[in-house]
Structure 1
């Protein structure tokens, strides 16, 4: 299994892709987020759109109720993004190709 280094540089994450990635799914864990703004919502949406172009599915896991409410209030539908309660369920969802868990 290849490793992809993720380095924290202040408030940024640096992800260096050093291998040919052919992913069928993208899992985004936002369980540590208590609040979101339109920027975070757009980043999730843009990531899902890019994954779809590469024929990969996106699952967001660990969304807190307040985060979900905020996304709705901001009018962000996160089209094409499935959700799951936690990482384990998100991985199962991606493996079986289902819609939402």
Structure 2
């Protein structure tokens, strides 16, 4: 089974963090990391953290979290634009 990468958006609820959106990034680890590294947010999580985005590798059905950032609402808006732009480029401008 191939590995693939995705970014999930998570929100803090009464029962903990719940994922409310997922962006599939494909199977290229370098490309996935390049996208995630463009995102705004802080790696300094605290008890006040409400919104997070994380980069995860799925391998043989097992998720392996790679990076997580705390985000503001404005960060989520900015990051969604970046992710959408990069996915569009990767899907439409691929020269393989």
TM-score by length of 2: 0.27
TM-score by length of 1: 0.26
Q: Which has the higher helix share?
A: 1
Higher RCO (C-alpha 8 Å, min separation 6): 2
